[in-house]
Amino acid sequence: MPTIHNPSFYIAHTDSAASMRLTNQLKHYFNALQPSRRIIIVCVGTDRCTGDSLGPLSGTLLSKYRSNSFDLYGTLENPIHAMNLDETIERIYTTNIDPFVIAIDACLGRAASIGTIHIIDGPLRPGAGVNKQLTPVGDIHISGIVNVGGLLGYQVLQNTRLHLIMSMANMISRSLFVAISISGKEDHEQLGAK
């Protein structure tokens, strides 16, 4: 779980235009991709801690869409966490040539920033917010600030509101799917929810 320093794009999840702005920002990345680059979404976190469940919950919501336009790793049922992250990264790069990897994770930040969603160029550094050093992942990453950073990282994560996580995960998953769809990466015969 990273701590945010210099985001390239951020918006409060309560902003009335948040979903549209997230979608437009993500669409720019997808429009710039070579057609041969496979989109891979890696949702990092665990379902054992409310504050750290943003990634796997986003993955579960994304899995509801019928799409062959991206590969998805990390759901509530099969989370990607410290114990299987390296194995997952290895699998992604041995089965895909030059994939475009998007990592999603919760993070800690300032009190005034709780509820903001960030899209950041470069890899996610999972575990940084709770002083863990895990393998970086992603060409870009999406982080949601779920609570206040500091010395009590794990306790703060355990006391994060589920409503906040649900709202942010819904917005991230919907924006990602719509951005893939409208950028032409989506097979239109596969559009829709399961």
Do residues 40 and 95 lie in contact, with contact meaning Cβ atoms separated by under 8 Å? no
pLDDT tens-digit map of 48-85:
989 899 999 999 999 998 788 999 999 999 999 989 99
The mean pLDDT value of the chain amounts to: 87
Q: In the β-sheet with 140-148, what is the strand arrangement from edge to edge?
A: 9-12, 116-121, 140-148, 100-109, 39-43, 70-73
Question: What backbone torsions phi and psi does residue 5 show, to the nearest 5 degrees?
Answer: -120, -65
DSSP at 128: G
**Integer CA distances (angstroms), 28 to 13, 53, 138, 162, in order:** 20, 27, 16, 31
For CA atoms 190, 176, 182, 92, give the dihedral sign: negative
Domain boundaries, the chain: 9-183
Among 2-11, 83-92, 123-132, where is mean pLDDT lowest? 2-11
pTM of the model: 0.87
What is the model's pLDDT at position 91? 97
What confidence score (pLDDT) does residue 4 get?
44
What is the per-residue pLDDT across 109-167, written as a single tens digit (0 to 9) for each? 899 999 999 999 999 988 765 567 789 999 999 999 998 877 666 667 777 899 999 99
Which fold, 9-183?
Rossmann fold (3.40.50)
Eight-class DSSP state of 189:
G
What is residue 191's predicted lDDT score, i.e. its pLDDT? 39
Share of the chain above pLDDT 90, in %: 67
- For residue 107, CA distances in Å to 96, 114, 166, 171 come to 28, 9, 15, 16
Of 1, 4, 41, the C-alpha closest to 120 is: 4
Q: Between these two residues, 72 and 35, which has the higher pLDDT value? A: 72
Burial class (CB in 10 A: 0-12, 13-18, 19+), 32: exposed
pLDDT at 190 over 50: no
